[in-house]
Amino acid sequence: MNGAPPTVVVRDLVKRFGDFVAVDNISLEASPGEIFGFLGPNGAGKSTTIRMLCGLLRPTSGQAMVAGLDVAHEPERVRQNIGYMSQKFSLYNDLKVIENLRFFAGMYSVATAELKERIGWAIDMAGLTGREQLLTGTLPAGWKQRLALGCAVLHRPPIVFLDEPTSGVDPISRRLFWELIHRMAVDGVTVFVTTHYMDEAEYCNRLVLIDRGRIVASGSPLELKEKSMAGDLLLVECDQVGKALEELQQAPGVTDAAIFGNALHLVVGSAERAIPEVKEFLAARGIAVTRIERIRPTLEDVFVSLTSLNRDEGDKGDTPAQSGKAAPAGDGGKEKGQ
Amino acid sequence: MLGRLRQMLIKEFLHVIRDKRARALLFGPPIIQTLVFGYAATLEIKHVPVAIVDYDNSQASRDLVSRFQASRYFEVRRIADRREVADLIDRSEATMALQINSGFSRQLHKGETAHLQVIVDASNSNTALVGLGYVNQVAQGFARDVRMAALQRQAPALAASLPEIVVERRPWYNPDLTSQWFFVPGVIGNLVLVIVVTLTAFAVVREREIGTLEQIMVTPIRRTEFILGKTIPFFLIGLLDTALISLAGTLWFRVPLTGSFLVLAAGTVCFILCMLGVGLFISTVSATQQQAMVTSFFFIMPAVIFSGFGSPISSMPLLLQRLTYLNPLRYQEVVLRSVYLKGVGFEVLWPQMAAMALIAIVMLTVSVLRFRKSLE
Interface test with chain B among A15, A95, A103, A162, by most B beta carbons within 10 Å: A103
Question: pLDDT tens for residues B251-291?
Answer: 888 889 999 999 999 999 999 999 999 999 999 999 899 99
CA dihedral B238, B240, B241, B245 (to 10 degrees): 140
- Interface probe for B, chosen from A15, A66, A80, A92 (most Cβ of B below 10 Å), is A92
Q: Sketch the domain layout of chain A as residue ranges.
A: 8-224, 227-326
Q: How confident is the model at residue A318 (pLDDT cuts 50, 70, 90)?
A: very low
Q: Does A77 touch chain B (CB under 8 A)?
A: yes
pLDDT > 50? residue A320: no
Residue B364, pLDDT score: 93
Searching chain A, which residue's CA lies closest to the CA of residue B226? A107
Question: Region B235-249: what's the mean pLDDT?
Answer: 90
- Domains belonging to chain B, first-starting first, are 2-41+177-375 (no CATH), 48-161 (3.40.1710.10)
- pLDDT grade, residue B147 (50/70/90)? confident
Searching chain A, which residue's CA lies closest to the CA of residue B209? A90
Rounded Cα distance between A99 and B66, Å, is 73
> CB–CB of A107 and B216 under 8 A?
yes
Q: State the burial class of residue B149 (Cβ atoms within 10 Å of its Cβ: 0-12, 13-18, 19+).
A: exposed
Q: Do A109 and B4 touch (CB under 8 A)?
A: yes
Nearest-by-Cβ selection for B219 from A91, A102, A108: A108
Strand partners, A36: A192, A206
pLDDT digits 0-9 by tens, A19-64: 899 999 999 999 999 999 998 888 888 889 998 999 888 899 999 9
- Long-range interactions of A22-25: CB distance < 8 A, separation 24+: A22/A48, A22/A213, A23/A48, A23/A49, A23/A52, A23/A59, A23/A213, A24/A212, A24/A213, A24/A214, A25/A62, A25/A214
Average pLDDT for chain B: 90
Q: Which of B9, B18, B219 to mutate to test binding with chain A, by most A CBs within 10 Å of its CB?
A: B219
Residue A327 pLDDT greater than 50, yes or no: no
pLDDT at residue B1 in the model: 55
| Per-residue confidence (pLDDT) for residue A324, from 0 to 100 | 35
Pairing of strands B96-100, B116-120: antiparallel
* Cβ atoms of residues B84 and B51 within 8 Å: yes
Return the CATH number of the domain spanning residue range A227-326.
3.30.70.100
Which band of pLDDT confidence, cut at 50, 70 and 90, is reported for residue A243? Answer: confident
- Give the residue-averaged pLDDT of A196-214: 87
Between B160 and A338, the higher pLDDT residue? B160
pLDDT digits (tens, 9 = 90+) for B3-58: 899 999 999 999 988 888 888 888 788 888 888 888 877 767 778 899 999 999 99
Q: How far is A85 from chain B (nearest CA, A)?
A: 7
Residue in A57, A77, A103 nearest the CB of B7: A103
Residue B211 near residue A88, CB atoms below 8 Å: yes
Backbone phi, psi, residue B56, to 5°:
-90, -45
Alpha-carbon distance values, A51 to A72, A79, A83, A185 (Å): 12, 12, 12, 21
Size of interface A-B (CB pairs under 8 A): 70
- Cβ separation A107–B376 shorter than 8 A: no
- In a mutagenesis test of the B interface, which of A56, A60, A87, A94 is the best target, namely the one with the most B β-carbons within 10 Å? A94
3-state percent helix, strand, coil for chain A, nearest multiple of 5 = 35, 25, 35
Smallest Cα distance from B224 to chain A, Å: 13
Whether B218 and A54 lie within 8 Å, measured CB to CB: yes
For A93, A170, A314, B198, the CA distances from B204, given in Å and listed in that order, are: 15, 32, 48, 10
Residue A96 has what DSSP assignment? B
Give the CATH fold of the A8-224 domain: Rossmann fold (3.40.50)
Residue B376 has a pLDDT of 62
Residue with more model confidence, A99 or A245: A99
pLDDT over 80 at A336, yes or no: no
User: Does the beta carbon of A165 lie under 8 angstroms from any beta carbon of chain B?
Assistant: no
Q: Per-residue pLDDT averaged across A154-178, rounded?
A: 90
- Report the residue of chain A nearest B18, measured CA to CA: A94
Computed from CA positions of residues A36, A40, A44, A47, in that sequence, does the dihedral angle turn out positive or negative?
Answer: positive
Tell me which amino acid residue A92 is: Y
**Of B227 and A302, which is predicted with more confidence?**
B227
Question: pLDDT tens-digit profile of B190-203?
Answer: 999 999 999 999 99
Identity of residue B148:
M
| Mean pLDDT score across all residues of chain A | 83
Comparing alpha-carbon positions, the chain B residue that sits nearest to A162 is B215
Stretch B132-147: mean pLDDT: 92
Cβ of A249 under 8 Å from any chain B Cβ?
A: no
Report the distance separating Cα A125 and Cα A121, nearest Å: 6
Percentage of chain B exceeding pLDDT 90: 59
Indicate whether A315 pLDDT > 70: no
Confidence check: pLDDT of B238 > 90: yes
Residues of chain A in contact with residue B11, where contact means CB-CB under 8 angstroms, are: 92, 95, 99, 103
Mean of pLDDT values over B242-253: 88
Chain B residue numbers with beta carbons less than 8 Å from the beta carbon of A85 are 215
Residue A308: per-residue pLDDT: 55
10 Å CB burial of residue B19 (0-12, 13-18, 19+) is middle
Share of chain B above pLDDT 70, in %: 98
Biggest CA–CA distance in chain B, Å, is 98
Q: What is the pLDDT of residue A332?
A: 36
Interface contact B219-A107, CB threshold 8 A: yes
Residue range A68-122, pLDDT digits in tens = 999 988 888 899 999 999 887 789 999 999 999 999 999 999 998 999 999 999 9
Matching CATH topology for A8-224 and A227-326?
Answer: no
> Which of A56, A77, A102 lies closest to B218 in CB terms?
A56
> pLDDT > 90: what percent of chain A?
38
pTM (2 d.p.): 0.79
Contact A106 B4 (CB under 8 A): yes
- Among A residues 85-144, those touching chain B with beta carbons less than 8 Å apart: 85-86, 88, 90-95, 99, 102-104, 106-109, 135
